[in-house]
Amino acid sequence: MIVMIRVSIVIPTYNEEKFLPALLESIKRQNYKNYEVIIADANSTDKTRDIAKSYGCKIVEGGTPAVGRNSGAKHANGDLLLFLDADTILTPNYLEKLVKNFMKEDIGIAITQISPVYGNVLEKILHEIANKAVKMLEPVKPHGSGGFGIATWKILHDKIGGFDESLDFGEDTDYIQRMSKITKFKVLKEPRLLISTRRLKKEGLKNLTAKYTKSTIHQFLGKNVSAKELNYNFEYRDVDAPSVKIVDEIFGKRKRILYGVCGEGMGHAIRSGVILEELSKKHSIKILASGRAYKYLSKKFEDVYEIGGFNTVYENNRVNTIKTFFESIRRFPKHLISNFWTIYRIVNEFNPHIVISDFEFYSSLFANIMRLPLISIDNIHVISRCKIKYPRKYWWDRIKAEIVIRLFVIKAKKYLITTYYFPQVKYPENTKLYPPILRKKIIKLKPSYGDHVFVYQTSKTNKKLLNDLKKINQKFIIYGFDENKEVKNLKFKKFNESEFYDDLASAKAVITNGGFSLISEALYLKKPILSIPIQGQFEQILNALYLDKLGYGKFIEESSVGKIMEFLNNLDKYREKLKDYEYCGNDFLISDLEEIIDEYAKPEKY
């Protein structure tokens, strides 16, 4: 029986090219299909009519809101009329719920309650207050509350002569009050209508409240008030409008993700950059990053916000634990306050469905405070969530690392760990291992074995390595010291993405610390690796240990000419082992991540 009721949706417009697409898209996605859309346009000078035509709407001449609504109703073929403003958006199943309400409760005219399309906590509260007020007044004085989502039977609309076209303000309340004298009026609990806050943002809360208070008092006293008396403007073309993407979010196809990236080193940023590139095709994302990660990601993506982060203090290629601790303690209060307000503003406006952290502390902290689902993606958690093997002399380094790990990422729903050595997982119910995430430019490189050794250092403090390299009859191209110069057989280069790739692809071997990302890229390019991890940095030590165990290169704790020469003299042996290394691609992690997002990131219920 419900299917037989045809709904005529009437939308008065004037220069609504920014707002109309989102509304029409939300109508198009309704599961209830027995409707028509009528655009009553008041001679728009923009693309409003072209947009309406592209969605198959019937276009009729309009004017003021009252004139436009009457004109649309005159041309309607439906049984039930639904009057909408162009800057509104229908929630999922809106039409179906509306029709069911009219059939079930024998309603003659109704309005739906409202929520802001975009809105901070204050705006949501204000809209709920408006809903409560209109609901309370329902049996006493039927009121339009802005005329959002007025629905009535066409036969009743015709019976009262439609909207009063002499009114340019308050015509919706006048219409409802006249209609309620001959039929039942209802403020529906559902469905909800999403409305723009463009007028609130443009005019301000104080000014807008004064206008609506004045108009409400006049209406209660049975007096009309004009738009001119209220200085009420019907057109706000310079206000940001919701794109069609917001409809994807509302209907659950597009999720809102807060993504935090650790700024220590470049590995977190590089991995996150690849993942973000894929996620941003389907989802709306705000990115939090500190240090070098912010500089890297802000050049590639929009909506990247800089926050304060934690930094390790290095001295002579060793982690200075005491200085790192006290430096973190010194910075923490300032960072906590500034980061809190940065993230609060984002969360307040953006309302994320889910948080993803690449070993970023503050996004993890906020996810727990706001009770949002948290997903962890990094290589670090191999230390705490896998059964790893290492010499006992590193036990204290491991303990320190695990304490930091447990503090940085708290109660994640899922742990996605990238690795090239795949140890046994301790907690398979929420932890899974994946191949390293590589940049597309690395994957496209064609490796060769040239005459130089590629050297990369996370820290500039390993002076002994440089002195040892000078004593070896071999050309070394060195990155990580942020300078361009040549000293004997050493060629220092500032980071240049194109040259960096070329030098890495054509290197005969690689000498580096124990950073995960560069080791992963070198393995993909079949480059033998000499790893000299930063002492006290357990994650780097572990990477180097497994690299040596797999035969892909050599692990040494401290540089020496003899050890470097031993490595260079055995390159053929390492290359032979590297033939067995297989890279399985980024798709496994991306695919699983999409499923996890779909499982845990639940859109709002309307």
Angle at the Cα of 227 (from 226 to 233), degrees rounded to 5?
180
pLDDT at 573: 96
The rounded distance, in Å, linking the Cα atoms of 22 and 275 is 28
Question: 231 and 477 in contact (C-beta within 8 Å)?
Answer: no
pLDDT tens, residue by residue, 513-533: 999 999 999 999 999 999 999
List, in order, residues 6 or more apart from 537 with CB less than 8 Å away: 312, 319, 397, 513, 514
pLDDT tens, residue by residue, 120-161: 666 677 777 777 777 776 666 666 555 578 999 999 999 999
264 and 388, same domain (yes or no):
yes
Q: Once rounded to an integer, what is the mean pLDDT over residues 41-69?
A: 95
Assigned token pair, 144:
């339009």
86 and 153, same domain (yes or no):
yes
Query: What ranges make up the beta strands (E) of 64-142?
Result: 80-83, 88-90, 109-116
Give, as one character, the DSSP assignment of residue 221: T
In a domain, 367, yes or no: yes
Handedness of CA 135, 136, 139, 142 (dihedral sign): negative
Of 90, 85, 36, 35, give the one whose Cα is nearest residue 65: 85
In a domain, 604, yes or no: no
198 and 314, same domain (yes or no):
no
The rounded distance, in Å, linking the Cα atoms of 548 and 390 is 12
In a domain, 324, yes or no: yes
53 and 100, same domain (yes or no):
yes
Domain count, the chain: 3
511 and 529, same domain (yes or no):
yes
Q: Once rounded to an integer, what is the mean pLDDT over residues 438-457?
A: 94
The rounded distance, in Å, linking the Cα atoms of 225 and 362 is 51
567 and 452, same domain (yes or no):
yes
Kindly give the pairing relationship between strand 553-555 and strand 529-531. Answer: parallel
Is the preceding omega at residue 447 within 30 degrees of 0, hence cis? Answer: no
CB count within 10 Å of CB 91 equals 20
- The structure's pTM equals 0.82
3-class secondary-structure state, position 170: coil
In a domain, 348, yes or no: yes
The rounded distance, in Å, linking the Cα atoms of 466 and 476 is 10
φ and ψ of 355, to 5 deg: -120, 135
260 and 238, same domain (yes or no):
no
Banded pLDDT at 211 (limits 50, 70, 90) = very low
Specify the DSSP element, H or E, that contains 378.
strand 374-378
List, in order, residues 6 or more apart from 473 with CB less than 8 Å away: 489
End-to-end CA separation in angstroms for the chain: 25
Question: 289 and 334 in contact (C-beta within 8 Å)?
Answer: no
pLDDT tens, residue by residue, 346-389: 888 888 999 999 999 999 999 999 899 999 999 999 999 999 99
pLDDT tens, residue by residue, 493-502: 998 888 999 9
In a domain, 52, yes or no: yes
90 and 190, same domain (yes or no):
yes
In a domain, 467, yes or no: yes
Of 67, 76, 84, 75, give the one whose Cα is nearest residue 24: 84
**Which residue among 223, 246, 269 closes a domain?**
246
Banded pLDDT at 224 (limits 50, 70, 90) = low
In a domain, 606, yes or no: no
CA atoms within 13 A on the CB side of 112: 29
Question: 441 and 403 in contact (C-beta within 8 Å)?
Answer: no
Assigned token pair, 305:
């916000």
pLDDT at 457 over 90: no
Assigned token pair, 288:
């939090």
The rounded distance, in Å, linking the Cα atoms of 464 and 435 is 33
Classify the phi-psi angles of 346: left when phi > 0, otherwise alpha if psi is within -120 to 50, otherwise beta. Answer: alpha
Kindly give the pairing relationship between strand 304-306 and strand 386-387. Answer: unpaired
pLDDT tens, residue by residue, 302-351: 999 999 877 766 666 666 677 766 676 777 677 778 888 888 888 888 88
Q: Once rounded to an integer, what is the mean pLDDT over residues 185-212?
A: 67
197 and 283, same domain (yes or no):
no
Mean pLDDT, the chain, integer: 87
The rounded distance, in Å, linking the Cα atoms of 584 and 438 is 10
CATH code assigned at 76: 3.90.550.10
Range of the structural domain that residue 280 is part of: 255-438+590-599
Question: 14 and 234 in contact (C-beta within 8 Å)?
Answer: yes
Kindly give the pairing relationship between strand 318-319 and strand 314-315. Answer: antiparallel
127 and 54, same domain (yes or no):
yes
Question: 436 and 520 in contact (C-beta within 8 Å)?
Answer: yes
pLDDT at 1: 45
266 and 187, same domain (yes or no):
no
**Which residue among 246, 268, 298 closes a domain?**
246
**Which residue among 218, 246, 274 closes a domain?**
246
Question: 568 and 510 in contact (C-beta within 8 Å)?
Answer: no
CB count within 10 Å of CB 576 equals 11
371 and 300, same domain (yes or no):
yes
CATH code assigned at 353: 3.40.50.2000
CB count within 10 Å of CB 562 equals 9
Assigned token pair, 277:
């590139």
The rounded distance, in Å, linking the Cα atoms of 142 and 152 is 14
In a domain, 165, yes or no: yes
**Longest CA span, the chain:** 100
Give, as one character, the DSSP assignment of residue 261: E
Of 42, 420, 27, give the one whose Cα is nearest residue 250: 27
The rounded distance, in Å, linking the Cα atoms of 433 and 518 is 19
